[in-house]
Amino acid sequence: MNLLVIGGVAAGTKVAAKAKRVMPDAKVTIVTKGKDISYAGCGLPYYVGELIEGKDQLIVNTPAKFSALTGALVQTEREVTRLDVKEKKAVVRNLRTGGEEIYTYDACVIASGASSIVPPFTGVNLPGVFTMRTPDDAIESREYLKANQVKKAVVVGGGFIGLEVAENLLAQGVSVTVMDMAPQIMPGFDPEMADYAVRHLAKKGIRVLTSTKLEGITGTLKAEGVQTDKGHLPADMVILSIGIRPNTGFLQDTGIEMFKGTILVDEKLRTNVPDVYAAGDCAMVTNRLTGARQWSPMGSSANMEGRTLALALNGEEVSYPGVLGTGVVKLPGLNGGRTGLTEEAAKAAGYDVETVLSVTDDKAHYYPDSSFFAVKLIADRKSRRLLGLQVLGPGAVDKMTDIAVMAITFGGTLEQMTSLDLAYAPPFSTAIHPFTAAVQILLNKMNGVMDSFTPAEYMAGAADDYRIIDVNPAGPTIPGVTYVDLTAVDAQVLANPRGEIPGLGKDEKLLLVCAKGKRAYLLQNRMKHYGYTNTRVLEGSSFFNVIRTGNAAGQVTVSPEEITRVKALGCLHNKGTDNFNVRVITRNGKVTAEENRRIADAAARYGSGDVVMTTRLTMEIVGVPYDKLDELRDFLAEGGLETGGTGSKVRPVVSCKGTTCQYGQLDSYALSEKIHERFYHGYHEVKLPHKFKIAVGGCPNNCVKPDLNDFGIVGQRIPSYNVDICRGCGKCQVEDICPMEAARVVDGKLIIDKEKCNNCGRCVGKCPFKAVDDGIYGYKVYIGGRWGKKTAHGKALSKVFTGEEEVLAVLEKAILLFREQGKTGERFADTVNRIGFAEVEAQLLGDEILSRKDEIIGAQLHLKGGATC
């Protein structure tokens, strides 16, 4: 057989390699447009984030290595321009020589893959605009990221690749905004699951803007921002992850049946044209549940299709059953997995759909690093079979997803899944496996044992006329609602002549809310026993849902958990109200005119109309109602602004005017912006024992109190004095100008007392005879200062630094030392005092602590932190 394979990445190389193994005598030729074959397309975001270090690691096989291993001929940099299905030949342009080549075949496999969609907007070809489809894309974007010191990036597209790129850019210290024209991110997940992910990403520092259309890239010599239908987003770098389009343009006149550019194939991967097959991202297969056509451009599917096709070409009775749409995605601190049908797709396919959302432990709750799974199951009431699963959690969501794949594939019923003999040990799972627990909850719901509202129903307002009952195990946590102690219910009912829980009528509509849903279900069970007829459990309860309750005044009352959550986003609660002050990060109080207008508009639209400055030179929009916080943050994000500046982290830096002041020895604004990007943004995810404040003063006047911050930098100008030039004037200009009285004439010569001199530089150039005519610019560093309840003056390091990068290195060492050696809840001043200034100074002036940077940042330290404001 003469087998021609068009395309050499996943499906193409798989079918070629397998064909040579089962048909050793076959002539197998791969022609591919790229210079690389078999590259790790799904690994590209992790090369950008430097988790994959070397370029060579992206290439699974080189053409020469692949040929030697398999016996297939690989022809790279060949573009197929026309396929002649009657003559059974492909017309190919050699991209190296420009010449035309002809390749004949007995069988042809089209595995030409897909390419990134680049919309025809202005600016898409500017430097700094990238797609993420080939190794070159990842390599060039990483090089640009480093060479241009990118501080802000916009990722256009909220699919898996876009979100993974966003995570990796965030890890590189870049401020990231993800935008998508769709109403949600994470296609293939239901809206409530995507909404939870958006809230999680916001907490991690990634802004997400949905229902936002790209209109163009701004900039002249390079990308400077993204223009959307809602405003302008400043950006130093833009990643276009809008989607992909099959590479099938060369097939237009072949008669091959296609749909929206994809090649339609049957279970043998055959097209409608004899001896022409297709596999991978250019082919459309079927959904194995519904039998409907489905495009599933995944590397896993491509490999399986390639293997099946090779066996079929060898005459074996095999077929490809189609896809379930299985996928997993890694987000910062959260993973997502899905398989099968979404709730909407299942209903559209005609199933009698029931769903449930359960939140369970992902391993034994007492085991270190145990966390959660939020699992949504979709099932058919009639057949009792599983139709789909979606799961979110920090851990092994792939495990949960793969169990569901097997359950769906082999058609097991929910009842059969309740007794699966799944692996258990505390480091890996719970005694009742999380998958089994979710199935059991779903069966309880289907069998009428549990009556509930799903998060989707709750978001849609299904519970608006229900009275919320707080069933949290730790006591009342939802303000303004009735609390019921589950453990006291039996005694309360037995003691009540009417057989009721005090204050709760048996026919009243009651929504039962606890931490994750279990105690709410247990309470419902007891209440049904005592004759309550209209109770509903909120699936996922306060863990998964944003709980909003109406109080007597008709206002929104926000739970303490929500107050804590939004506080981490820079939204500070006004006690006694449902309003918040929202901190807008302004890079040291400096905003552009456009940003200032955006902040003013935001205050007018969403707040009281007032904007106040904090002592840290951030701006606070006053009086924003709780239910407007998300809208406000989205509105600010559309203008390139972010909220934050709270928590046990590096706080926004504060500085004086620097060289715009007559005394300024350094450009405080420029230095503070570097610190802001490198340490406020770059260390955004690094939890510290407490808040860490940084101040930059342009001179020793200390206008921004550098010595009352955890780390203070003061501009210096150390006078250079030439005693041989001094004439011992009776009225010395240097002595007169010195504010510290460090300069004085003694025995006819000027003396400068270095103990008194604060290196303010005022004396430089004041001597008419040029005895003090020069000065060395430098930086004095103070550590361990603070102000507030317990004021402490920082102490200066003994060395005056003369290089900016040297100072920034000392600052980074101070942050790392505080993280590693500070105790949770103590300020840096306490750490310095406890360890000893001399020991801290020795570590800051040495380099050993920097050598352990990755170890210190990666350690599980200060998970709670000590900052309260």
Q: Could you give the residue numbers annotated as active site?
A: 42
> Do the Cβ atoms of 104 and 59 come closer than 8 Å?
no
The radius of gyration of the chain's CA atoms, rounded to the nearest angstrom, is 33
Q: How far apart are CA 204 and CA 206, in angstroms?
A: 6
Residue 652 CA, distance from chain mean position: 20
Checking DSSP bridges between strand 556-557 and strand 549-550, what pairing results, if any?
Answer: antiparallel
Region class of 174: left (phi > 0), else alpha (psi between -120 and 50), else beta? beta
DSSP 498-538: TSS-TT--TTS-EEEE-SSSHHHHHHHHHHHHTT---EEEE
Q: How far apart are CA 452 and CA 511, in angstroms?
A: 8
> Residue 272 has which token pair?
């409608």
Say which residue the tokens 């602590």 belong to: 849
Q: How far apart are CA 406 and CA 420, in angstroms?
A: 12
Angle at 298 between CA 294 and CA 299, to 5 degrees: 145
> Do the Cβ atoms of 166 and 195 come closer than 8 Å?
no
Q: What does each C-alpha distance from 852 to 80, 123, 814, 819 come to in angstroms?
A: 52, 42, 13, 12
Say which residue the tokens 């447009």 belong to: 33
> Do the Cβ atoms of 309 and 302 come closer than 8 Å?
no
Q: How far apart are CA 786 and CA 784, in angstroms?
A: 7
Which stretches of 447-585 are DSSP H helices?
455-459, 489-495, 518-529, 541-544, 560-567
Q: How far apart are CA 642 and CA 170, in angstroms?
A: 14
Checking DSSP bridges between strand 795-796 and strand 774-783, what pairing results, if any?
Answer: antiparallel
Q: How far apart are CA 616 and CA 759, in angstroms?
A: 26
Checking DSSP bridges between strand 571-573 and strand 510-513, what pairing results, if any?
Answer: unpaired
Burial 392-419 (b: 16+ CB within 10 A, else e): bbbbbbbbbbbbbbebbeeebbbeebee
Q: How many CB atoms lie within 10 A of CB 722?
A: 14
Which stretches of 23-159 are DSSP H helices?
44-48, 63-70, 135-147
> Do the Cβ atoms of 478 and 485 come closer than 8 Å?
no
Q: How far apart are CA 504 and CA 535, in angstroms?
A: 11
Dihedral of CA atoms 46, 49, 51, 56 in degrees, nearest 10, equals: 70
Q: How many CB atoms lie within 10 A of CB 590?
A: 12
> Residue 19 has which token pair?
């064909």
